[in-house]
A = this chain, B = another copy of it.
Amino acid sequence: MTSISRTTRGVYAIAPTPFHPDGRIDLDSLRRLVDFYEAAGADGLTLLGQMGEAPKLTHAEAVEVAAAVLDRTRLPVVVGVSAPGFASMKALTGEVMSRGAAGVMVGPPHTLRTDDQIVGYYAQVGEALGPDVPVVVQDYPLTFSVVMSVPVLRRIAREVPSVVMLKHEDWPGLEKISALRAAEEAGAMPRLSILCGNGGLFLDFEMRRGADGAMTGYCFPELLVDVVRLMGEGRTADAHDLFDAHLPLIRYEQQAGVGLAVRKYVMRRRGLLADDAQRAPGRSLTAAERAEIDVLLERLARRDPRAKLS
């Protein structure tokens, strides 16, 4: 089994959890999604993030989802295991690592404030999960209300050896990438793989700042793959052109609270999900929103034919 590491690069697509309209998990759609991500060129998958509606699953369901994906793919799979307590976090981590997960992702509890509290929390995570479980730190202030400064990330990287990757979705965050890379080069911290989130909203410049790729759930993962590849090949202008064509939709999908519904709607229209249902509490799109997304898709299709949906 491949594990994530400090040098992991590429696109880790965050998969939504498909549900039937009555709230049951739709494993068929999940497997279809996995095949699609592979075909789209994803380098890995991430499950049970905030956008994967992880907190709405029971422990047993979370294991079922992870197992279905791990059985289906050889891509490395990161599993979100954030939990209010370490007992639950350890239990889920044990289940998914034994089934071949490549690592786990942990977001901070919203009550953390000071530098010491944040560093201390990840030190406890590292201790609770043990040295053999690679950990992704999720740095997402808008959702978690926890602000991780560069010094904090530097300390986590130094003091918690099992932390090997940063899911970067601070906002704004371009300077943070540069500062972390500078700290690494100065020997002030070990290298972290930096994969960027935020729906891809800044992926164009994040790659130019030294990010290793993307870990996010934009409904056209092909775009993420293309931008990362083109930037890697030095075809900067091409990367920008393609990225800019998608930006109106990326922006629309990145709206807090609505984003997941947008994503599932497009994925249903793309034939990937049987239904775009969310588990309660969740909201479906209004007719106006669906019409707006359809406009965005039509406009996008003029520049990226993959957006041409029947």
A247 nearest CB neighbor, chain B only: B247
Q: Mark A60-104, 1 if CB is under 8 A from B, else 0.
A: 010000000000000000000001111110010000000000000
Q: How many copies does the complex hold?
A: 4
The answer, yes or no, to whether A255 is at the interface (CB within 8 Å) is yes
Residue from B147, B244, B257 in contact with A172 in the complex, judged by beta carbons closer than 8 Å? B257
Q: Verify A58–B84 contact, CB threshold 8 A.
A: no
The residues of B that contact A20 with a CB separation of less than 8 Å are none
The answer, yes or no, to whether A279 is at the interface (CB within 8 Å) is yes
Q: Does more than half of chain A's interface fall in helix, strand or loop, or is it mixed?
A: helix
The residues of B that contact A209 with a CB separation of less than 8 Å are 288
Q: Verify B255–A149 contact, CB threshold 8 A.
A: no
Q: Verify A147–B113 contact, CB threshold 8 A.
A: yes
CA distance A279 to B124 in the complex (A): 12
Q: Verify B247–A56 contact, CB threshold 8 A.
A: no
Q: Verify A288–B251 contact, CB threshold 8 A.
A: no
Known: A147-B114, A152-B114. Contact between A87 and B248, CB under 8 A? no
The answer, yes or no, to whether A36 is at the interface (CB within 8 Å) is no
The residues of B that contact A208 with a CB separation of less than 8 Å are 292
Residue from B174, B279, B288 in contact with A85 in the complex, judged by beta carbons closer than 8 Å? B279
CB distance from A108 to the nearest CB of B (A): 12
The residues of B that contact A204 with a CB separation of less than 8 Å are 248
Max count, chain B CB within 10 A of own CB: residue among A85, A121, A208, A286: A85
The answer, yes or no, to whether A240 is at the interface (CB within 8 Å) is yes
The answer, yes or no, to whether A299 is at the interface (CB within 8 Å) is yes
CA distance A119 to B240 in the complex (A): 39
The residues of B that contact A61 with a CB separation of less than 8 Å are 87
The answer, yes or no, to whether A258 is at the interface (CB within 8 Å) is yes
The answer, yes or no, to whether A273 is at the interface (CB within 8 Å) is no
CA distance A202 to B280 in the complex (A): 27
The residues of B that contact A280 with a CB separation of less than 8 Å are 86, 124, 128
The answer, yes or no, to whether A234 is at the interface (CB within 8 Å) is no
The answer, yes or no, to whether A5 is at the interface (CB within 8 Å) is no
The answer, yes or no, to whether A32 is at the interface (CB within 8 Å) is no
The answer, yes or no, to whether A110 is at the interface (CB within 8 Å) is yes
Task: Report A234-273 residues with CB < 8 Å from chain B CB.
Answer: 240, 244, 247-248, 251-252, 255-258
Q: Can you name 19 A-B pairs with beta carbons within 8 Å?
A: A56-B84, A56-B87, A57-B88, A58-B59, A59-B59, A85-B279, A114-B149, A115-B151, A124-B281, A171-B255, A172-B256, A172-B258, A174-B288, A175-B289, A178-B286, A205-B292, A240-B248, A244-B248, A247-B247
